Amino acid sequence: MQAELAWLEWVRRAAARAARPEIRLGIGDDAAIVRPRRGCDLVLTTDLMVEDVHFLRRRDPAAVCGRRLATRALSDLAAMGAEPLALLVSSVYPPGLPAAWPRQFVRGLLQAAAEAGAQLIGGDVSSAARAGGIVLDVIGAGQAPAGQALLRSGARPGHRLFVSGPLGEAALGRELVHSARSPRTAIERRARARHLRPRARWELGQALRRSASAAIDISDGLATDLRHLCRASGVGAEILAESLCDAAGQDALDRALFGGEDYELLFTLPPGREPPAGFALRQIGRILPARQLWLIQAGRRLPLPAGGYQHWAR
Amino acid sequence: MQAELAWLEWVRRAAARAARPEIRLGIGDDAAIVRPRRGCDLVLTTDLMVEDVHFLRRRDPAAVCGRRLATRALSDLAAMGAEPLALLVSSVYPPGLPAAWPRQFVRGLLQAAAEAGAQLIGGDVSSAARAGGIVLDVIGAGQAPAGQALLRSGARPGHRLFVSGPLGEAALGRELVHSARSPRTAIERRARARHLRPRARWELGQALRRSASAAIDISDGLATDLRHLCRASGVGAEILAESLCDAAGQDALDRALFGGEDYELLFTLPPGREPPAGFALRQIGRILPARQLWLIQAGRRLPLPAGGYQHWAR
């Protein structure tokens, strides 16, 4: 009880540094209070991170887990075109976990939140009775002008498909870090950094509000997230294998399609709309009327294999 | 993957029945969208429920767990004087859990949400890699007129302390249910019902916005939650043992002080303010200037013992 209060007080003080006007009340009462800017809707998302499913304690430093959990929520907000405002985080810790783990975890989370202009405003903490794994749940709150949030459901035949960066590099970086192998190429160095310091695309998401017809973030791998977008829009798509990543070879393509944790945005533009300037975007394909997904590789058109983020820790 | 999609589709359909105008987008996109009524702030809270800490799978039916988790969030919103709008829920299920458990859990949660006028608008689900316990996290979102939410910090010396009902009955009900003993008295029957069908005081919370100087919900036992309120307000208090519950005896008093899960409201009224009509309220004491807590029992004034909700399943 006293230890819990001291811990909450530490978190409250660490979180209070990033005050922003929309946060009327942060940590310390029965609930937090958020006042969205006039004319704005509030956008809410929640994401779990479970030990041995989404991370390995002996391989993934606690601060990286904190940054990655924050990024999951911030990436959802980005996909809605929302401006990040606040995070809440609930944590279940197994008995005997060193006290340094939660502190480093919260530090990583707070750093990612601060970079996005979001404030930690609440949460809950519990110890687990059994020796299961750590369970973390983040809640992200953002704001978007009323009725202007980006949805998955607006893609129509003829719209062009874009992504905000090369895909599959976070998966490559995870392989490098987990195998303790040093990066040898420029792509491998970038991949390692993307795994250790993921960053959501909230600036791009907001810039897309006036131009994109649909958007989703790529957290589970392009193949899965493209399927979600097309299902919600009632359409199909074809994508160009060569456009997805900078590295060559089948391994790189597999990571681009199924790797997960890229936290890039996948979005569609109607004919005549220009992508926003100032972002490194790549056109990867187009929307088709029939509800099927195709991969164009070396001039051949193949059904896009199903699949997606394979929980790698199992 | 397919099973997860089918399950999410079931939840989405079950949740969509209770549409309300503030919910602009529910389950199915990267995030949900909430538009608070004009002039209202959004109130956000999150609460964990962990197997073997907060519930026992063999004793607590899944639907009761769902109702109780919803009630935890709704009770936080009530303590802020907020009108419930929406819930999100994240669930981690161990391998081998029967599919009926999550369905019954969500049914119980949806029923409690519907009674409060709140809609389930999102969440996340993950399986656990290890055979740990079920972990559930609820997020509650409500609305309150700008600047009018009730805080813990407004209690001042001379303000009267009230609670919204007899305390400790949920703990008695838990003992009855867990020992499989049939209730023998009217209080025991009521206690059993309060354990199996807890209900947060959101109507009272909203009615208190214009009169109460401070409020908190009693989820961890009066002794603990009174301490929270007094610490936030920088004051002390004295409470009358005889006023806390209807049952007699030291066991009943212990449950009232330390039992937990009552989900009643504890609030303070400044001199001259009347409590709202139409609620069964009881005055239990008053606020004092010195930061100490006192219990008046049989004419003696004793320091209120520290303590609170003892996680009973350990």
Rounded Cα distance, B197 and A120, in Å = 33
Does residue B103 form part of some domain? Answer: yes
CATH code of residue A276: 3.90.650.10
Q: What pLDDT does B312 receive?
A: 36
Q: Note whether A214 and A138 are same-domain residues.
A: no
pLDDT for residue A9 is more than 90: no
Q: Do A149 and B313 touch (CB under 8 A)?
A: no
Is there a contact between B202 and B83 (Cβ–Cβ < 8 Å)? yes
Q: Do B44 and A29 touch (CB under 8 A)?
A: no
Strand duo A282-288 + A160-163: pairing: antiparallel
Is there a contact between B215 and B275 (Cβ–Cβ < 8 Å)? no
Q: Note whether B225 and B282 are same-domain residues.
A: yes
Q: Note whether A101 and A174 are same-domain residues.
A: no
For the segment A139-160, the average pLDDT, to the nearest whole number, is 98
Q: Note whether A111 and A210 are same-domain residues.
A: no
Rounded to the nearest angstrom, the minimum Cα separation between B153 and chain A is 8
- Which residues of chain B have a CB within 8 Å of the CB of A132? 94, 128, 130-133
Rounded Cα distance, B258 and B308, in Å = 4
Is there a contact between A214 and A298 (Cβ–Cβ < 8 Å)? no
Structure tokens at A141: 């709150």
Q: Note whether A65 and A141 are same-domain residues.
A: yes
Q: Note whether B139 and B6 are same-domain residues.
A: yes
pLDDT for residue A1 is more than 70: no
Rounded Cα distance, B278 and B280, in Å = 7
| Residue span of the structural domain in which A282 resides | 160-303
Phi-psi region of A56 (alpha: psi -120 to 50; beta: other; left: phi over 0): beta
pLDDT for residue A188 is more than 90: yes
CATH code of residue B107: 3.30.1330.10
Rounded Cα distance, B190 and B169, in Å = 8
Q: Note whether B167 and B111 are same-domain residues.
A: no
Closest Cα in chain B to A220: B1
Q: How far is CA A256 from CA A263, A284, A308, in A?
A: 12, 12, 10
Q: Note whether A97 and A42 are same-domain residues.
A: yes
The band of A305, judged by pLDDT with boundaries at 50, 70 and 90, is: confident
Q: What pLDDT does B15 receive?
A: 82
Nearest to A266 by CA among A311, A224, A309, A210: A224
Domain termination site, one of B94, B115, B145:
B145
Structure tokens at A189: 């160095």
The band of A14, judged by pLDDT with boundaries at 50, 70 and 90, is: confident
Q: Do A33 and B80 touch (CB under 8 A)?
A: yes
Closest Cα in chain A to B310: A1
Q: Do B92 and A48 touch (CB under 8 A)?
A: yes
Closest Cα in chain B to A132: B132
Work out the burial of residue A85: count CB atoms within 10 Å of its CB; fewer than 13 is exposed, 13-18 middle, 19 or more buried. buried
Does an H or E element contain B288, and which?
strand B282-288
Give the closest of B48, B151, B152 to A124, CB-based.
Answer: B48
Taking 3-state DSSP, the helix, strand and coil percentages for chain A, each rounded to the nearest 5, stand at 35, 25, 40
Does residue A45 form part of some domain? Answer: yes
Q: What pLDDT does A292 receive?
A: 97
Cα-Cα-Cα-Cα torsion B166, B169, B170, B173, nearest 10 degrees, comes to -160
Does residue A72 form part of some domain? Answer: yes
Give the closest of B28, B35, B128 to A132, CB-based.
Answer: B128
Rounded Cα distance, A40 and A142, in Å = 9
Is there a contact between A230 and A286 (Cβ–Cβ < 8 Å)? no
For the segment A153-177, the average pLDDT, to the nearest whole number, is 96
Is there a contact between B149 and A25 (Cβ–Cβ < 8 Å)? yes
Q: What angle is formed at CA A10 by the lines to CA B266 and CA B308, rounded to 5 degrees?
A: 35
Q: Do B30 and A80 touch (CB under 8 A)?
A: yes
Q: Note whether B182 and B294 are same-domain residues.
A: yes
Is there a contact between B77 and B140 (Cβ–Cβ < 8 Å)? yes
- Which residues of chain A have a CB within 8 Å of the CB of B125? 48
Q: The dihedral of CA B218, B220, B223, B224: what is its sign?
A: negative
Q: What pLDDT does A307 receive?
A: 66
Q: The dihedral of CA A209, A215, A219, A221: what is its sign?
A: negative
| Residues in Cβ contact with B88 at an 8 Å cutoff, skipping those fewer than 6 apart | A44, A46, A139, B32, B120, B121, B122, B123, B138, B139, B141
Does residue A155 form part of some domain? Answer: no
How many separate domains does chain B show? 2
Q: Note whether A77 and A199 are same-domain residues.
A: no
Does residue A153 form part of some domain? Answer: no
Tell me which long-range contacts A187-196 makes (C-beta under 8 A, separation of at least 24): A187/A246, A187/A247, A194/A169, A194/A170, A194/A262, A195/A170, A195/A261, A196/A64
Whether ipTM exceeds 0.90: yes
Cα-Cα-Cα-Cα torsion B68, B71, B76, B80, nearest 10 degrees, comes to -170
| Residues in Cβ contact with B5 at an 8 Å cutoff, skipping those fewer than 6 apart | none
Q: What pLDDT does B9 receive?
A: 79
* Best residue in B12, B27, B30, B226 for a mutation probing chain A (most A CBs within 10 Å): B30
* Residue in the block written with tokens 């009232």: B256
* Best residue in B47, B137, B267 for a mutation probing chain A (most A CBs within 10 Å): B137
Distinct helix (H) and strand (E) counts, chain B: 8, 13
Q: The dihedral of CA B40, B42, B43, B47: what is its sign?
A: positive
Q: Do A128 and B53 touch (CB under 8 A)?
A: yes
Burial B114-126 (b: 16+ CB within 10 A, else e): ebbbbbbbbbbeb
Does residue B210 form part of some domain? Answer: yes
Q: Note whether B139 and B165 are same-domain residues.
A: no
Domain termination site, one of B115, B145, B175:
B145
* Best residue in B29, B52, B311 for a mutation probing chain A (most A CBs within 10 Å): B29
Cα-Cα-Cα-Cα torsion A97, A102, A103, A105, nearest 10 degrees, comes to 130
Q: Note whether A298 and A179 are same-domain residues.
A: yes
**In A59-199, where does DSSP find H-type helix?**
62-79, 100-115, 169-178, 186-196
Q: What pLDDT does A8 receive?
A: 73
Q: What pLDDT does A165 receive?
A: 94
Give the largest CA-CA distance in chain A: 66
Give the closest of A42, A45, A308 to B36, CB-based.
Answer: A42
Does residue B277 form part of some domain? Answer: yes
- Which residues of chain A have a CB within 8 Å of the CB of B92? 48, 50, 135
Closest Cα in chain B to A46: B123
Share above pLDDT 70 across residues of chain A, in percent, rounded to a whole number: 96
Give the global pTM. 0.94
Q: What pLDDT does B2 receive?
A: 59
Q: CB neighbours (10 Å) of residue A199?
A: 16
- Render each residue's pLDDT in chain B as its tens digit; 314 residues: 456 667 777 788 878 776 889 999 999 999 999 999 999 999 999 999 999 999 999 999 999 999 999 999 999 999 999 999 999 999 999 999 998 999 999 999 999 999 999 999 999 999 988 778 999 999 999 999 999 999 999 999 999 999 999 999 999 999 999 999 999 999 999 999 999 999 999 999 999 999 999 999 999 999 999 999 999 999 999 999 999 999 889 999 999 999 989 999 999 999 999 999 999 999 999 999 999 999 999 999 999 987 654 443 33
Q: Do B232 and A28 touch (CB under 8 A)?
A: yes
Structure tokens at B220: 């961890």
